[in-house]
């Protein structure tokens, strides 16, 4: 990966402080008690920031998570000509974007290579500027992660798209037009990309077999607040009446359902009790009853969700990842960390991404009993993991290894912290406030 000068990240997002390279030391054992504020969702805020490109008016996002991905996308948007201003208040970190002057020629290849969500710029920029050259996006190495659905959808809307030498070139000099599009499978990113593009396209777009993730509903809510006419978001058919005049909008980013599920597992694993402030159980979909069956008790409260270990203890369960409302693939690794310490046998089957078991070897280093056959991991719980030196290979693997470290005997050393910082706003610091013994250390 090409290294990007950090000062520019700081210029685009002044709250971003490059942390010294190093590792996380996690001393396992103590039960966690306290309040853990759930941040705005990483996978909601990124498309929301891109959505600000469809209007020349001000878009203000509240409850923005202070994560590395947000800093990288801020820098990308700034280089495209958007102006960004930040404030901190009762609604958390807020970002106001103004995209009155956008130049699609200014896409920064190194920054695009740092995150998958940069592919969302495609729809917004071709619709707004008539042409864009975008390097293939980067992101976690968890599978093939094609973008063919995105490209085919934009072609159906009248864009001419070519892919050469790792660069996507999309052109629509007379703008996009509405189209009937059916996704081969419910892709979150393709649904978001086409939804954003459809708002600027002339006429009606219907996205069939659309993804139903809550982040898409959140995106549609923000676009609707700008004046877009969208129906069906959150179902498998989204209809957009495009080409309407758009205003600005003020929108609060939804709470992060993946952080919610992950920290709920931390409470149960350590036999503590954590109030997940701002969390919503309903966003967890099928994960809520499955985690409950595994011994993660979740009680909704007015200010969030109380998470603790169920009186019967932790038990093995069978998990299959599925598009929403099925069990989220992003919760698969954290759930596996929990199940390594659950009584009995569990299976975890990953159906969304081909290579999302890279945390298994790391969990094994900590004494976990896991066998993998094709896309299924067979887990036999052990009373307790033991500390080891482990490395995170993607955002969710990082969170899983933090959990494993919190439950293990001894002091775990976690490397690859960029992955944790990409996806989470101060996870280590928030766990520290709940009584975890966790600290960053030099390499
Ligand atoms: N797919 C294609 N072609 C496409 C698009 C998708 O073959 O054009 C395939 C993918 O390879 C995958 C499946 O369809 O097998 C689903 O991928 P999807 O497009 O839904 O995923 P994504 O948009 O790339 C988002 C999240 C992921 C999350 C998935 C599934 C963001 C920025 N990323 O990715 O989040 O796992 O949806 O819910 O929203 C993470 O946060 O750690 C993360 C990887």
Average pLDDT over residues 373-389: 97
Please tell me whether residues 245 and 261 are part of one structural domain. Answer: no
Q: Give the distance (Å) from ligand 1 centre to CA of residue 312.
A: 35
Q: Give the distance (Å) from ligand 1 centre to CA of residue 113.
A: 16
pLDDT of residue 108 exceeding 90, the answer is no
Please tell me whether residues 237 and 189 are part of one structural domain. Answer: yes
CATH code for the domain of 248: 3.65.10.10
55 within domain boundaries: yes
Q: What is the pLDDT of residue 7?
A: 60
Average pLDDT over residues 372-380: 97
Instruction: Note the pTM of the prediction, 2 decimals.
Output: 0.96
Please tell me whether residues 33 and 126 are part of one structural domain. Answer: no
CA distance 142 to 124: 26
Residue minimizing CA distance to atom 40 of ligand 1: 330
Domains contained in the chain, number: 2
Query: Tell me: the pLDDT tens digits for 365-374?
Result: 999 999 999 9
86 within domain boundaries: yes
Query: Tell me: the pLDDT tens digits for 109-147?
Result: 888 888 888 899 999 999 999 999 998 877 656 556 789
| Residue from 374, 283, 287 nearest 328 by CA | 287
Handedness of CA 327, 318, 280, 256 (dihedral sign): negative
Domain end residue (candidates: 189, 220, 252): 252
Q: What is the pLDDT of residue 1?
A: 45
1 within domain boundaries: no
Distances (CA, A) of 440 to 66, 149, 404, 428, 436: 17, 40, 17, 8, 13
**Of 134, 155, 189, 427, best ligand 1 pocket probe by most atoms within 8 Å of the beta carbon:** 189
152 within domain boundaries: yes
Q: Can you tell me which atom of ligand 1 is nearest the CA of 117?
A: 32
Contacts of 38 (CB under 8 A, 6+ apart): 255, 256, 259, 260, 263, 276, 277, 278, 279, 304
Average pLDDT over residues 52-78: 96
Q: Give the distance (Å) from ligand 1 centre to CA of residue 189.
A: 6
368 within domain boundaries: yes
Domain end residue (candidates: 219, 252, 285): 252
125 within domain boundaries: yes
Please tell me whether residues 320 and 405 are part of one structural domain. Answer: yes
Query: Tell me: the pLDDT tens digits for 9-23?
Result: 888 999 998 777 789
For the chain, the average pLDDT equals 94
Domain span including residue 157: 42-252
Please tell me whether residues 243 and 285 are part of one structural domain. Answer: no
Q: Can you tell me which atom of ligand 1 is nearest the CA of 395?
A: 42
Pocket, ligand 1, Cβ cutoff 6 A: 42-43, 46, 116-117, 140, 143-150, 185, 187-190, 211, 329-330, 352-353, 395-396, 423
Q: Give the distance (Å) from ligand 1 centre to CA of residue 353.
A: 8
SS3 labels along the chain: CCCCCHHHHHHHCCCCCCCCCCEEEEECCCCCEEEEECCECHHHHHHHHHHHHHCCCEEEEECCCCCHHHHHHHHHHHHCCCEEEEEEECCEEEEEEECCCCCHHHCCHHHHCCCHHHHHHHHHHHHHHCEEEEECCCCCCCCCCCCHHHHHHHHHCCCEEEEECCEEEEECCCCCECCEEECCCCCHHHHHHHHHHHHHCEEEEEEECCCCCHHHHHHHHHHHHCCCEEECECECEEEEEECCCCCCEEEECCECHHHHHHHHHHHHHCCCEEEEECCCHHHHCCHHHHHHHCCEEEEEECCEEEEEECCCCCECCEEEECCCCCECHHHHHHHHHHHCCCECEEEEECCCCCCCCCHHHHHHHCCCEEEEECCEEEEECCCCCECCEEECCCHHHHHHHHHHHHHCECEEEEECHHHHHHHCCCHHHHHHCCCCEEEEECC
Domain end residue (candidates: 252, 275, 304): 252
Please tell me whether residues 197 and 54 are part of one structural domain. Answer: yes
143 within domain boundaries: yes
**Of 39, 42, 43, 47, best ligand 1 pocket probe by most atoms within 8 Å of the beta carbon:** 43
**Of 253, 352, 355, 399, best ligand 1 pocket probe by most atoms within 8 Å of the beta carbon:** 352
Please tell me whether residues 157 and 66 are part of one structural domain. Answer: yes
Q: What is the pLDDT of residue 143?
A: 56
Structure-derived torsion over alpha carbons of residues 295, 318, 39, 235, reported in degrees to the nearest 10: -130
Average pLDDT over residues 243-260: 98
Q: Can you tell me which atom of ligand 1 is nearest the CA of 215?
A: 39
Please tell me whether residues 203 and 264 are part of one structural domain. Answer: no
Please tell me whether residues 259 and 339 are part of one structural domain. Answer: yes
- pLDDT level of residue 164 (50, 70, 90 thresholds): confident
Residues in the chain: 443
53 within domain boundaries: yes
> How many beta carbons lie within 10 A of that of residue 89, not counting itself?
8
Q: Give the distance (Å) from ligand 1 centre to CA of residue 141.
A: 11
Please tell me whether residues 414 and 275 are part of one structural domain. Answer: yes
Please tell me whether residues 73 and 218 are part of one structural domain. Answer: yes
Average pLDDT over residues 277-295: 98
Residue minimizing CA distance to atom 19 of ligand 1: 187
Please tell me whether residues 403 and 294 are part of one structural domain. Answer: yes
Q: Can you tell me which atom of ligand 1 is nearest the CA of 143?
A: 11
């Amino acid at each position: 990966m090409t290294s990007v000068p950090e000062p520019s990240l700081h210029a685009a997002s002044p709250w971003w402080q490059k942390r010294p390279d190093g590792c996380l030391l996690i001393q396992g054992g103590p039960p966690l008690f306290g309040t853990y504020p759930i941040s705005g969702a990483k996978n909601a805020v990124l498309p929301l920031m891109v959505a600000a490109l469809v209007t020349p008016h001000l878009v203000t996002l509240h409850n923005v998570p202070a994560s590395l991905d947000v800093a990288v996308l801020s820098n990308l948007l700034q280089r495209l000509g958007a102006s960004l201003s930040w404030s901190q208040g009762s609604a958390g970190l807020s970002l106001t974007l103004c995209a009155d002057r956008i130049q699609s020629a200014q896409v920064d290849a190194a920054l695009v290579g740092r995150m998958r969500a940069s592919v969302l710029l495609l729809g917004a920029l071709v619709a707004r500027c008539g042409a864009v050259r975008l390097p293939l996006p980067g992101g976690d190495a968890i599978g093939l992660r094609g973008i063919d659905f995105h490209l085919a959808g934009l072609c159906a809307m009248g864009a001419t798209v070519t892919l050469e030498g790792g660069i996507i070139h999309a052109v629509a000099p007379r703008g996009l037009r509405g189209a009937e599009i059916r996704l081969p499978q419910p892709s979150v990113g393709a649904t978001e990309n086409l939804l954003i593009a459809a708002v600027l396209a002339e006429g009606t777009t219907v996205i069939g077999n659309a993804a139903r993730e809550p982040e898409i509903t959140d995106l549609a809510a923000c676009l609707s607040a700008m004046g877009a006419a969208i129906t069906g978001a959150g179902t498998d058919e989204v209809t957009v009446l495009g080409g309407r005049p758009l205003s600005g909008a003020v929108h609060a980013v939804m709470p992060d359902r993946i952080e919610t599920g992950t920290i709920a597992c931390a409470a149960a694993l350590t036999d503590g009790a954590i109030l997940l402030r701002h969390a919503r159980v309903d966003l967890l979909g099928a994960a809520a009853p499955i985690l409950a069956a595994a011994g993660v008790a979740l009680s909704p409260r007015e200010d969030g969700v109380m998470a603790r270990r169920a009186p019967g203890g932790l038990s093995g369960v069978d998990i299959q990842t599925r598009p929403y409302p099925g069990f989220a693939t992003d919760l698969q690794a954290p759930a596996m960390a929990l199940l390594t310490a659950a009584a009995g046998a569990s299976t975890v089957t990953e159906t969304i991404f081909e290579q999302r078991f890279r945390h298994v070897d790391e969990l094994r280093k900590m004494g976990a009993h896991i066998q993998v056959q094709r896309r299924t991991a067979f887990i036999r719980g052990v009373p307790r993991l033991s500390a080891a030196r482990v490395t995170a290979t993607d955002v969710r693997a990082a969170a899983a290894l933090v959990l494993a470290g919190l439950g293990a005997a001894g002091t775990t050393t976690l490397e690859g912290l960029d992955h944790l910082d990409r996806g989470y706003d101060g996870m280590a610091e928030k766990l520290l406030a709940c009584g975890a013994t966790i600290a960053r250390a030099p390499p």
